[in-house]
């Protein structure tokens, strides 16, 4: 007779890590979105040189 507890534990662990992988993926996408927004702002901002006063 096979041991169903091992299979059940493996399935529960897989579901557990799959749910956290979704959270981790969303966190990475959020960080990338913010990084791209800051990078785009830096590239697209106007550059107006100011005269240096000495």
Residue spans of the domains in the chain: they are 7-41
Measured between alpha carbons, how far is 16 from 6 in angstroms, rounded to an integer?
15
Burial zone of 17 (CB within 10 Å; 0-12 exposed, 13-18 middle, 19+ buried): exposed
Q: Is the pTM of this model over 0.85?
A: no
Look up residue 18 and give its two tokens.
């799959």
* Tens of each residue's pLDDT in the chain, 54 residues: 555 555 556 677 777 777 788 899 999 999 999 999 999 999 999 888 888 765
Measured between alpha carbons, how far is 39 from 49 in angstroms, rounded to an integer?
20
């Amino acid at each position: 007779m096979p041991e169903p507890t091992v299979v059940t534990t493996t399935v529960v662990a897989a579901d557990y890590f799959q749910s956290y992988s979704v959270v981790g993926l969303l966190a990475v996408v959020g960080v990338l979105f913010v990084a791209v927004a800051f990078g785009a702002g830096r590239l697209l901002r106007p550059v107006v040189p100011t005269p240096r006063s000495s």
